[in-house]
């Protein structure tokens, strides 16, 4: 852990405690965006996390406190993250009582500002058919996490929710006072915009998929808990591929413990030429640029940054209506919102409807793409800072 340097008291320091501050995950990207904004405002920032973007860590305004994950386990690492985060927060606040401390959900028991990206009480995974070891681990982790979540969130003076969906879950499921919970939507990158034909050609060449076919994309971890809903998409896809007229390919981006099993299922179905599993990739932008549609039939999603990114690139996105990002959809894109829970038969019919008029769906997506791109990461960060400063002054 780094030594705490004494700060310029004209700019109260911030302590941000999160699993990651980088650009390869939704909440990690949001955390990095807030940290970057504070740096540009020349505000001292202490970052406590497992992984921190190299460029961000090198910023003179940043003091880094790396936390290791024992055996690479988030389950074990979270307890250590909480202890280190608490120690750093105590030291910084002792040096400057005006310091601002922001934690994420149940990752640190510090009663100040809590930025909630996921409400564990709102998601009850189905463990039927999963490995016994996974069931045992999930049940233990769930018991610990739900207990910590309630204890920690009840203490927070200010809670930031990434969607109205998340805000409702905090108020209704956890009984938190509505006036303590504020919605702050996630921002967008300035380079999320419609791609040129040249860049699309480069992205298609990278994917190395058969040319001339429309491309549907799924982005999400392939875990045993099926929260991202790939099983629903797979059932719909297998049905569609039995139709001779169905000429669309599918690319799946995401790692996870079930990746190998899904690759075997795809191969056994004889659809490996129509379905490409990339595993984890840091080239999500290229994937979206090459895509004609994103499908996200999630069972629980507090927001859905991958959906927002697709829309910003001008790519239509089907997502379950209960996902937080669905709140950003205008009425005339309602046919892109899947019912809760998403059903394979319904999804297949919607995919057929999309295939019959691809360009019309893309044209209808353009207005919401412009609207979303107008609210960038700095807009998000400024709103967070304003809410934190107002709370601090009370």
Q: Other CB atoms closer than 10 Å to residue 271's CB: what's the count?
A: 16
- Give 139-191 pLDDT, tens digit per residue: 777 777 888 999 999 999 999 999 999 999 999 999 999 999 999 999 999 88
* Section 62-70 average pLDDT: 94
Chain centre to alpha carbon of residue 332? 25
Query: E-assigned strands of the chain?
Result: 14-17, 20-21, 45-49, 51-52, 62-66, 100-103, 113-116, 158-161, 181-183, 215-219, 249-253, 275-279, 293-296, 317-320, 337-338
- Give 112-125 pLDDT, tens digit per residue: 999 999 998 888 77
Alpha carbons 10 and 138: distance in angstroms, whole number: 46
State the burial class of residue 227 (Cβ atoms within 10 Å of its Cβ: 0-12, 13-18, 19+): middle
Judged by DSSP in three states, 96 sits in coil
Token pair belonging to 26: 């939704």
- The domains of the chain, with CATH numbers, are 14-187+376-393 (3.40.50.2000), 197-373 (3.40.50.2000)
pLDDT at 315: 96
- C-beta of residue 215 within 8 angstroms of C-beta of residue 194: no
Residue 4: pLDDT above 80?
no
* Section 307-321 average pLDDT: 97
Q: Which of 320, 321, 328 is nearest to 365 (CA)?
A: 328
Question: Binning pLDDT at 50, 70 and 90, where does residue 195 land?
Answer: confident
User: Which position has the token pair 């996921």?
Assistant: 118
- Give 237-279 pLDDT, tens digit per residue: 999 999 999 999 999 999 998 999 999 999 999 999 999 999 9
Residue 50: pLDDT above 70?
yes
Question: Binning pLDDT at 50, 70 and 90, where does residue 29 land?
Answer: very high
- C-beta of residue 187 within 8 angstroms of C-beta of residue 379: yes
String of DSSP letters for 180-195: GEEE------TT-SPP
Residue 298: pLDDT above 50?
yes
DSSP 8-state secondary structure symbol assigned to residue 332:
G
């Amino acid at each position: 852990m780094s030594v705490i340097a004494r700060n310029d008291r004209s700019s109260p320091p911030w302590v941000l405690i999160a699993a990651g501050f980088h650009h390869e995950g939704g909440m990690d990207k949001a955390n990095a965006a807030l940290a970057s904004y504070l740096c540009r405002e020349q505000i001292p920032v202490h970052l406590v996390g497992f992984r921190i973007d190299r460029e961000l860590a090198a910023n003179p305004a940043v003091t880094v406190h790396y936390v290791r994950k024992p055996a690479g386990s988030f389950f074990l690492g979270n307890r250590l993250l909480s202890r280190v985060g608490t120690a750093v927060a105590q030291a910084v606040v002792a040096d400057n009582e005006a310091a601002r401390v922001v934690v994420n959900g149940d990752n640190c028991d510090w009663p100040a500002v809590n930025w909630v990206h996921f409400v564990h009480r709102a998601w009850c995974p189905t463990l039927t058919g999963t490995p016994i070891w996974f069931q045992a681990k999930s049940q233990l982790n769930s018991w610990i996490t739900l207990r910590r979540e309630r204890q920690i969130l009840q203490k927070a003076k200010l809670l930031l929710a990434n969607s109205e969906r998340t805000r409702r879950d905090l108020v209704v499921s956890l009984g938190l006072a509505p006036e303590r919970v504020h919605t702050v939507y996630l921002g967008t990158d300035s380079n999320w915009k419609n791609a040129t034909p040249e860049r699309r050609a480069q992205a298609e060449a990278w994917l190395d998929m058969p040319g001339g076919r429309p491309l549907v994309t799924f982005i999400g971890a392939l875990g045993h808990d099926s929260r991202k809903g790939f099983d629903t998409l797979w059932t719909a896809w297998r049905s569609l591929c039995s139709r001779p007229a169905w000429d669309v390919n599918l690319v799946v981006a995401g790692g996870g413990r079930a990746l190998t099993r899904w690759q075997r299922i795809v191969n056994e179905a004889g659809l490996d030429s129509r379905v490409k599993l990339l595993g984890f990739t840091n080239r999500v932008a290229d994937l979206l640029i090459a895509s004609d549609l994103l499908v996200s039939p999630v069972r629980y999603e507090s927001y859905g940054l991958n959906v927002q990114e697709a829309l910003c690139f001008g790519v239509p996105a089907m997502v379950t209506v209960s996902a937080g990002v669905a709140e950003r959809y205008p009425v005339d894109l309602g046919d892109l919102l899947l019912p809760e829970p998403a059903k394979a038969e319904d999804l297949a019919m919607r995919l057929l409807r999309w295939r019959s008029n691809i360009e019309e769906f893309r044209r209808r997506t353009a207005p919401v793409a412009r609207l979303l791109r107008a609210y960038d990461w700095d807009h998000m960060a400024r709103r967070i800072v304003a809410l934190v400063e107002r709370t601090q002054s009370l």
